[in-house]
Each structure stands twice: as structure tokens, then as C-alpha cells.
């Protein structure tokens, strides 16, 4: 299967087979795909929680409109954006560049870091929140494509109570916010959604060449 075949194969899985689990090797592949995701300035100002615990997922299901994917999937990925200490995250990122690339021009990089800090600081709180959460969606997209590559099912979801997730997982104390989630695993034969034709806009309506 080529990439387009795999993208046509995937869909937002509604019913998972709770007996089937994603292997450690496949899980490592998905994590690396997320790690290689693009992000604004390359900052990756987020953390991804991978929840296996049945007890925790039972609690999270209550905060997810009782959607069965939360507990029936193999794993639950929770993409969390950082809400505080943006300057420190930028400093850490600049230092990571220096250490990784053996950069000699540390002065230039630190000036670049100050520019990034200024750009973030100049956003309103609402703009900063929106920008920060959008970064998690870029990482989510890598997960979805990587899952399709390995024929692992996934269901990106916004239908959950973020404040409840933050409370259950203690995210506020960590300066994190649950932004978007994705249960992953393997579709159940009983999921009728998989039999529906994929609905997308036609090419001539979606694209315009100028």
C-alpha cells in the first residue's frame, strides 16, 4: 500500500477491539513519528501522555461523554500544551540546539531565542493559548499518519472535558493543559463506520491554483 492507499484505509475508529494491543515496537515507531513532528520555531512546547492504566482511563471516560474508545482502545494519547514558563522552554530549546549541533555561534542563537520570547510575550493571553494548542494538533497529525502507515487505528477526539482531564491527571500543577486526545488500537469487526465510503470535498472545490 502506498501512502494514499493507507490514508484512504484509515478512518476515525468508533469501536475498538479491546483484546488487541499495540506492540512495543509499533508504539516506539509512533512516538518517534510524533517526536519528528514540525512545530512553530521547532519548540515542541508540549508533552504527550500515553495512558495504559485501565483505572485512569475509566476516570477519563467519565470526562469524555462516556465514549467507549477511551477504555477500549489499546492506548490513549493525550497531547498537552505548556501553559507557563514559556521563556524557560525557549532557553532550553536554544541550549538543545547548541548541544545537538555543536554550534559555535552561541551569541547569534541566544539572540534568536530572545526574539522568540518577545514574539510569544507580545501575544495576548488568548492568542498565546490558541497558538500553544495548535502546536499539539501538528503533532497529532503525525500520529494519525504514522498509525495509518502501520495499519493501526486511531480516533482524534476533541469531545472531552479539558478541565476534568487536567484535574484527574494533575496537569495544572505541571503547567500543562490537555488539548486534544487520540485513542489508538485496532478496529472491531462490529464497527459499522469502517464500511462507509470516505467523504471528502472534490479536488476542484478544495484546491485553487493562482
Q: How many domains does the chain have?
A: 1
Q: Helix count (H) and strand count (E) of the chain?
A: 9, 4
Residue 80 inside a domain? The answer is yes
Residue 115 inside a domain? The answer is no
Residue 181: in which H helix or E strand, if any?
A: strand 176-185
CATH, residue 155: 3.40.109.10
Q: Could you say which DSSP state residue 11 is in?
A: -
Q: What is the pLDDT of residue 103?
A: 77
Q: What is the pLDDT of residue 102?
A: 87
> Which of 191, 177, 185, 192 lies closest to 30, judged by CA?
185
Residue 96 inside a domain? The answer is no
- Contacts of residue 144, Cβ cutoff 8 Å, sequence gap at least 6: 10, 154, 156, 182
Q: What is the pLDDT along the chain (210 residues), one digit of tens a residue?
A: 799 999 999 999 999 999 999 999 999 999 999 999 999 999 999 999 999 999 999 999 999 999 999 999 999 999 999 999 999 999 999 999 999 998 778 999 999 999 999 999 999 999 999 999 999 999 999 999 999 999 999 999 999 999 999 999 999 999 999 999 999 999 999 999 999 999 999 999 999 999
User: Counting beta carbons within 10 angstroms of the beta carbon of residue 23, is it exposed (0 to 12), middle (13 to 18) or buried (19 or more)?
Assistant: exposed
Instruction: Write down the pTM of the prediction.
Output: 0.96
Residue 101 inside a domain? The answer is no
Q: What is the pLDDT of residue 133?
A: 97
Write the CA distances from 31 to 23, 27, 50, 77, 209, integer angstroms.
Answer: 12, 6, 10, 10, 36
SS (H, E, C) 80-99: EEECCCHHHHHHHHHHHHHH
Residue 117 inside a domain? The answer is no
Q: Would you say 145 and 4 are in contact if contact means Cβ atoms under 8 Å apart?
A: no
Where in the sequence is the domain holding 185, given as residue range(s)?
Answer: 3-84+130-206
Residue 147 inside a domain? The answer is yes
Q: What is the pLDDT of residue 1?
A: 77
> Grid coordinates in use for 154?
486511531
Full strand arrangement of the beta sheet holding 153-154 = 46-51, 75-82, 176-185, 153-154
β-strand partners of 182: 77
Distance between CA 192 and CA 15 in Å, rounded? Answer: 8
Residue 100 inside a domain? The answer is no
**φ/ψ of residue 112, rounded to 5:** -65, -40
Residue 93 inside a domain? The answer is no
Amino acid at each position: 500500500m502506498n501512502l494514499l492507499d493507507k490514508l484512504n484505509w484509515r478512518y476515525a475508529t468508533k469501536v475498538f477491539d479491546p483484546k488487541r494491543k499495540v506492540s512495543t515496537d509499533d508504539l516506539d515507531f509512533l512516538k518517534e513519528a510524533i517526536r519528528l513532528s514540525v512545530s512553530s520555531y521547532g519548540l515542541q512546547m508540549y508533552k504527550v501522555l500515553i495512558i495504559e492504566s485501565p483505572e485512569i482511563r475509566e476516570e477519563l471516560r467519565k470526562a469524555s461523554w462516556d465514549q467507549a474508545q477511551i477504555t477500549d482502545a489499546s492506548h490513549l494519547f493525550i497531547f498537552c500544551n505548556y501553559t507557563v514558563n514559556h521563556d524557560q522552554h525557549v532557553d532550553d530549546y536554544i541550549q538543545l540546539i547548541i548541544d545537538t549541533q555543536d554550534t559555535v555561534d552561541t551569541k547569534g542563537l541566544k539572540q534568536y531565542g530572545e526574539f522568540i520570547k518577545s514574539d510569544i510575550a507580545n501575544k495576548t493571553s488568548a492568542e498565546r493559548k490558541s497558538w500553544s494548542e495548535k502546536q499539539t494538533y501538528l503533532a497529532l497529525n503525525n500520529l494519525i499518519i504514522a498509525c495509518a502507515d502501520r495499519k493501526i487505528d486511531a480516533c482524534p477526539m476533541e469531545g472531552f472535558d479539558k478541565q476534568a482531564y487536567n484535574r484527574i491527571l494533575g496537569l495544572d500543577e505541571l503547567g500543562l493543559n490537555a488539548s486534544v486526545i487520540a485513542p489508538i488500537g485496532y478496529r472491531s469487526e462490529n464497527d459499522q463506520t469502517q464500511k462507509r465510503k470516505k467523504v471528502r470535498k472534490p479536488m476542484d472545490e478544495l484546491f485553487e491554483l493562482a
